[in-house]
Structure 1
């Protein structure tokens, strides 16, 4: 998993609340067994019509948001099922940071476990970012160590994150890596058990 600390990227504003995991990655695309390759299907029914053509009215299809790496959305983002494919799809598409007033708990945890920084800001702060992101090329800067986000035009907001999740993201650890950090202790324990002590 790639570590994240200081990060900046173009912001895509998705001004919708209660976006569920089936809208993020529809169920018919969940047949892959690896984590890669889901990005092409993210928000599929909103991005494409029935013939597979890009919908001109969907914000992610606008040229100024094609390379966005920060997604700003409405409250209760990631509700619905517990499918881990949703953060896989967002990450594979290119989003490293998702900002919203609130997230579904399982989705939030799945984001962090897969290297996406999910940031909770107030509704007012999110609304301000939505407006600012209408400007082409609007960039937001994220500092995980200091737990703040800011732009070059005066916007600054602080966010909370559990110290455990913060350490995992700063170091690029998933749960397997956390376990492997204890490899010496595990080996000593196994040797002790094998010796009958």
Structure 2
């Protein structure tokens, strides 16, 4: 998993409440178990027209936001079914951070396991960040995980809270497998002792 330390990137405004996982990645894209290639399906039902052409009114199709790395979204982001394809699609598109007032628990947990930083802020802070994100190409935010701060284009800073263990995992780039591999020495030693004490097993 890629480490998350400091991210400076364009923030796309998505002032929609209850963005569910089916909106993030429609069910038609769930046939694969590959984590790559899902970026093209991100928000597909509202990003594309029925004929497959791009919807020019959708934020990620606008020139200023095509390479956005941050989404500033309405309340309860990631609700709905517990599909891990949702963070996979965001990550494959290039989104590394989602900022909202609240997240669905399963989506929130899945983000950390895939190298995406979900940040909870107050409604007042979200309004300020949404205003920053609506500046088009000038909508650049800097997210510093170590310092737990978000800096806006005018230099204003917002602090955010995060669980220390989850922060550690993101900073080190550790998913569940990575955490297990950190204990490889102890695991190998245990297996060696077991093989010596129970050679018949």
TM class, shorter-chain normalised? over 0.9
CA-CA distance at 1:77 after TM superposition:
0.3
CA-CA distance at 1:119 after TM superposition:
0.6
CA-CA distance at 1:59 after TM superposition:
1.6
Partner of 1:2 in structure 2? 2
1:156-195 matched pairs, under 5 angstroms? 156-195=157-196
| Backbone CA RMSD of aligned residues | 1.1
State the TM-score, normalized to the length of structure 1.
Answer: 0.97
Taking the aligned partners of 2:188 and 2:56, their CA distance within structure 1 comes to: 57
Taking the aligned partners of 1:112 and 1:53, their CA distance within structure 2 comes to: 33
Gapped regions of structure 1 (runs ≥ 5): none
Taking the aligned partners of 1:152 and 1:11, their CA distance within structure 2 comes to: 10
Taking the aligned partners of 1:87 and 1:98, their CA distance within structure 2 comes to: 10
State the TM-score, normalized to the length of structure 2.
Answer: 0.95
Partner of 2:146 in structure 1? 145
Taking the aligned partners of 2:140 and 2:37, their CA distance within structure 1 comes to: 26
Asked if 1:44 corresponds to 2:44, the answer is: yes
**Residues 126-135 or 64-73, more deviating:** 126-135
1:47-126 matched pairs, under 5 angstroms? 47-126=47-126
Gapped regions of structure 2 (runs ≥ 5): none
